[in-house]
């Protein structure tokens, strides 16, 4: 099974093995969101344990 390139582009893997993602909803309709919400959405957030299992399966190579 090949590595999913779309997964590699969307997620970041730290040295300790954590998988991070971006906060959703940041491409458009940002004018109605508060500055606080937009500022917090710039950061990378960790995935939940169930999502980590799925993403690691897609990133693994045979």
The CATH number assigned to the domain holding 52 equals 4.10.410.60
pTM of the model as a whole? 0.76
Asked if pLDDT for residue 62 goes beyond 70, the answer is: no
Q: How many distinct structural domains can be found in the chain? A: 1
pLDDT at 57: 87
Contact 59, 7 (CB under 8 A): yes
Give how far Cα 55 sits from Cα of 7, 23, 26, 49, 58, Å: 7, 16, 22, 10, 5
Domain housing 41: 5-59
2-49 pLDDT tens trace: 668 888 889 999 999 899 999 998 899 999 999 999 999 999 999 999
């Amino acid at each position: 099974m090949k590595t999913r390139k779309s997964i590699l582009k969307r997620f970041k893997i730290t040295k300790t093995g954590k998988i991070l993602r971006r906060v959703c909803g940041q491409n458009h309709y940002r004018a109605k969101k508060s500055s606080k919400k937009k500022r917090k959405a710039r950061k990378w957030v960790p995935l939940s344990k169930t999502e980590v299992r799925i993403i690691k399966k897609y990133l693994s190579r045979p």
